[in-house]
Structure 1
Amino acid sequence: MAGHGRGRTARRGRAAGCVLAVLLLGAACSAPGRAPDATAGEVQRVLDGRAAAVLKHDADGYLAAVDPAATGLRAAQGAEFANLAQVPLTFWAYRVNGVERHGATATAAVDLRYRIQGYDTAPVTAGRTLTLERRGARWYVTGDRPARGAAQLLWQQGRVTAVHGAHSLVLGVGQEPARLHEIAAAEDAAVPAVSAAWPGKWAGRVVVLVPGSLEAMAALLGAPAASYRGIAAVTTGEAGGAGTAPADRVIINPDAYAVLGDLGRTVVLTHETTHVATRAHTSPATPMWLSEGYADWVGYRDTGRTAAQAAPELQKAVRAGALPADLPTDADFGFDGGADRLARAYEGGWLACRMIASRWGEAALARLYTEIGEQAQREGAAEKAMGDQLGLTPREFTAQWRAYVRAELG
């Protein structure tokens, strides 16, 4: 599989495209004689009723919060409600963070919080900006849009089809059910493969989102489509997330995923599932060569692929006399250097992890990953962990890695 077809992780806190930012609006002027926080409380009560309607599958109750005169919004919100029908929700709530009121109109900064049954141990939060109008004694929603910097939600793209696997929940929009079942089967195979390689405790289940296009995928990430062209999948999640964090989401780029063969799809989903499994042990101290290299190492672990087969771009460079001088940097995993540079970065990280597993053992590789991830900052983390687990300095490790790359690919 070509390197540019691999998956990619998008860490909250380390990848700006996947942060669900919330626009916090301070309380502003209210009507004379009205306490500044009264409007927020009134809006909160309206939204509490709307949230209860979602869990009761009550379309009329959901639309009761929308201005009767806003016919276009009511139609759009009704369609969005219908799109949610197959999503197994166990929690749905709104939290009003701030309100700006100008007479009979207001703008509210709101957190939508939801939890998928059996997968999320904590709510997923999405920032929303609502506009409202007061009619008589109550407020009605007249506008509902993502907060500044927030991403689109899957059910805002169309009706969601849900496929339940043994270890997975696949939610798709604009996809044939047969394709979603194929992805669920592949994910169900990836989960035990990851558990066999990663000794750490993890949930052992994955939510996979399959939007209708590359552009729709980018909208779910709040990023330009060009950033993910050729990337088959990404994993969104909270670096260092523990049991109080919502479940990660594997988001598939249907355009790139469709052109992969069976092996490529297996590697991609196993790679992304590894990010889910290792998330609690991934931190700002973890270099990209290790996090992406480890995910690729797990992905290729049981495939029988040789170094030359799995690292073609790096082999071209080595045979052209361009042996890397150092391990891939985080910048090498960016998109501004082109697909070839990105592929070489993934392949170099994979070979580093492959070398560790073959010389020091798979358990030592996992311990190295865990020890580095336990550190709060990058500086000094690799030095200590390499010394503890491999008995090497980073300089010595890099020299061994360069020799290993030359031997395997030269």
Structure 2
Amino acid sequence: MTAPPTRRSAIGALTGALAGLTACTGGSGSAAPRRTATADPALQQLLTRRATALLHRDRQAFLAGADPRATRYYAAQRRMFDDIAEVPLAAWSYRLVRTGAFPLPPTADAGGTVRTAAEVELSYRLRGYDARPVLSTEYLTFTRRAGHWYVAADDDGASAGKRTAVQLWDQGKVTAVRGTHSLVLGLVDTATLRGYAADADRAVPQVQRAWGKAGWPGSVVVEAPGTLDQLGALLAADPDDYRGIAAVTTGELGGSAAAPADRVLVNPAAFGRLSAFGRQVVLTHETTHVATRLATTSHTPLWLSEGFADWAAYRDSGRTAPEIAPELAQDVTAGHIPAALPANADFRPTAPALPQAYEGGWLANRLIADQWSPATLTAVYRAAGTGTPLDAVLQAHLHLSLAAFTARWRTYVRQELT
């Protein structure tokens, strides 16, 4: 994420929101009073029929797989089928992972109904944007009556911590706006979505100049929920943690950290308060996370990943260092120069010195680009994600130890901000 929306966007690391979007597995057997089915090939067949029906826009066939007695779920599925209509799907499939995935609540249904609680993997791709499938987890209740299986619920596992991942089309009718380098999917008005697409289209060439064109599609998908609560649901996070965050990049892992598909999620209220310059910085920052994702791992320090995204966003802004880093400049003027590079914990959305963490990371990246070269900076970034100790990475590319680089960075911070 980034610091307050008056300056930048939101954290795009492989933590926090990312952990929320990659739903966990595990669980216990069913505790329902009725019989619980073992894995049945008919369950996968039902899921496959529903996926095919959705892709081919066959409403009747899609709803035929939803339990008509589960009126709330049936109505929600009917709305979802309509609300996803504008989303350009290239692929959509379900895979039954396991049954007995969570305890089922009691039911008043009578007459030999069989129920089972299943973990299901949803896989989908957006046409023209996703090179690999986006994966998410659903926890579904199946019912069988008169020899027919139906899907009856997707929230029975919530009390056991088995929550179905929320998608944008679960929250309302999605409008799709296509830009030259972008696809914007949103629940807000079309004019606003077109503005997001224009900002994203300007961001992509800036990012290509900073990072290069190889290793990423050269386009970005932006999702725009209508409210902060909807953003929180998409992130499986407390919405209050993102109240002051303008946007966040999420990596939905396709089986490994090397195969993600990224989405930039916009917080409409916070993003709407930004100036035109601020909006451009935010989307360039987040688009940088999309471009660098394949090179970003848990080994990459956040001062490097977030600082690089800010460096790409501010590189051609013409703004001075004190203008870009006002909070850290205030600290330096008061004689408080940070003793160490920002730690990962300093980038939490609720961290007390969040702006200073971003500003310090930006200056560390700017230092490498200015005193070595932009190519050296990207080489350091790529090497840091391989798991090579950071000290060894800096020795190899900068001929400085981590301690020596930190000392040079502290001097640079003082020089640039006073």
Correspondence 1:294 to 2:308: yes
Give the whole-Å Cα distance in 1 for the aligned partners of 2:265 and 2:339. Answer: 34
Q: Would the aligned equivalents of 1:13 and 1:238 in 2 still touch at CA under 8 Å?
A: no
Q: CA deviation at 1:12?
A: 4.1
Structure 1 counterpart of 2:74: 74
Within a 5 Å distance, the mapping from 1:318-397 to structure 2 comes to 318-338=332-352, 341-375=353-387, 381-397=389-405
Give the whole-Å Cα distance in 1 for the aligned partners of 2:393 and 2:256. Answer: 22
Q: Would the aligned equivalents of 1:328 and 1:349 in 2 still touch at CA under 8 Å?
A: yes
Q: Would the aligned equivalents of 1:133 and 1:142 in 2 still touch at CA under 8 Å?
A: yes
Within a 5 Å distance, the mapping from 1:277-316 to structure 2 comes to 277-316=291-330
Give the whole-Å Cα distance in 2 for the aligned partners of 1:155 and 1:240. Answer: 20
Q: Would the aligned equivalents of 1:190 and 1:269 in 2 still touch at CA under 8 Å?
A: yes
- CA gap of 1:254–1:17, structure 2 versus 1, over 3 A, is farther
Which of 187, 192, 215 is the aligned partner of 2:205? 192
Aligned partner of 2:389: which letter? A
Q: Would the aligned equivalents of 2:21 and 2:250 in 1 still touch at CA under 8 Å?
A: no
Aligned partner of 2:330: which letter? K
Correspondence 1:248 to 2:262: yes
Q: Would the aligned equivalents of 1:113 and 1:126 in 2 still touch at CA under 8 Å?
A: yes
Correspondence 1:275 to 2:262: no
Give the whole-Å Cα distance in 2 for the aligned partners of 1:22 and 1:348. Answer: 34
* SS across alignment from 1:4: coil
TM-superposition CA deviations, 1:311-365 (whole Å, max 9, x none): 0000111111111111111111113432xx0000000000111111111011111
Q: CA deviation at 1:371?
A: 1.2
Give the whole-Å Cα distance in 2 for the aligned partners of 1:305 and 1:241. Answer: 41
* SS across alignment from 1:8: coil
Give the whole-Å Cα distance in 1 for the aligned partners of 2:15 and 2:367. Answer: 30
Q: Would the aligned equivalents of 1:206 and 1:247 in 2 still touch at CA under 8 Å?
A: no
Structure 2 counterpart of 1:127: 137
Structure 1 counterpart of 2:92: 92
Structure 2 counterpart of 1:8: 10
Correspondence 1:220 to 2:220: no
Q: Normalized against structure 1, the TM-score is what? A: 0.91
Size of the aligned set, in residue pairs, is 400
Q: Would the aligned equivalents of 1:121 and 1:243 in 2 still touch at CA under 8 Å?
A: no
Q: Would the aligned equivalents of 2:17 and 2:250 in 1 still touch at CA under 8 Å?
A: no
Q: Would the aligned equivalents of 2:18 and 2:251 in 1 still touch at CA under 8 Å?
A: no
Which of 111, 119, 143 is the aligned partner of 2:121? 111
Give the whole-Å Cα distance in 2 for the aligned partners of 1:306 and 1:170. Answer: 32
Q: Would the aligned equivalents of 1:9 and 1:275 in 2 still touch at CA under 8 Å?
A: no
Correspondence 1:56 to 2:56: yes
Structure 1 counterpart of 2:44: 44
- CA gap of 1:257–1:250, structure 2 versus 1, over 3 A, is same
- CA gap of 1:120–1:48, structure 2 versus 1, over 3 A, is same
C-alpha RMSD of the superposition: 2.6
Q: Normalized against structure 2, the TM-score is what? A: 0.89
Give the whole-Å Cα distance in 1 for the aligned partners of 2:116 and 2:342. Answer: 50
Aligned partner of 1:349: which letter? G
Give the whole-Å Cα distance in 1 for the aligned partners of 2:13 and 2:368. Answer: 25
Aligned partner of 1:57: which letter? R
Correspondence 1:183 to 2:193: no
- CA gap of 1:117–1:252, structure 2 versus 1, over 3 A, is same
* SS across alignment from 1:67: coil
Q: CA deviation at 1:17?
A: 4.3
* SS across alignment from 1:324: coil
Q: Would the aligned equivalents of 1:120 and 1:246 in 2 still touch at CA under 8 Å?
A: no
Q: Which stretch of structure 1 is more off in the superposition, 250-259 or 328-337?
A: 328-337
Q: Which stretch of structure 1 is more off in the superposition, 11-20 or 321-330?
A: 11-20
TM-superposition CA deviations, 1:234-287 (whole Å, max 9, x none): 111168999972421010111110000011011110000111111111112211
Q: Which stretch of structure 1 is more off in the superposition, 270-279 or 246-255?
A: 246-255
Give the whole-Å Cα distance in 1 for the aligned partners of 2:254 and 2:212. Answer: 17
* SS across alignment from 1:93: strand
* SS across alignment from 2:87: coil
* SS across alignment from 1:247: strand
Q: CA deviation at 1:15?
A: 5.2
Q: CA deviation at 1:130?
A: 1.4
Q: CA deviation at 1:68?
A: 2.2
Give the whole-Å Cα distance in 2 for the aligned partners of 1:284 and 1:200. Answer: 23
Give the whole-Å Cα distance in 2 for the aligned partners of 1:14 and 1:252. Answer: 16
Q: Which stretch of structure 1 is more off in the superposition, 298-307 or 125-134?
A: 125-134
- CA gap of 1:406–1:243, structure 2 versus 1, over 3 A, is closer
Instruction: Among all aligned residue pairs of Structure 1 and Structure 2, give the percentage whose two residues are the same amino acid.
Output: 47
Gaps (5+ residues) in structure 2? 105-111
Gaps (5+ residues) in structure 1? none
Give the whole-Å Cα distance in 2 for the aligned partners of 1:369 and 1:16. Answer: 20
- CA gap of 1:241–1:144, structure 2 versus 1, over 3 A, is closer
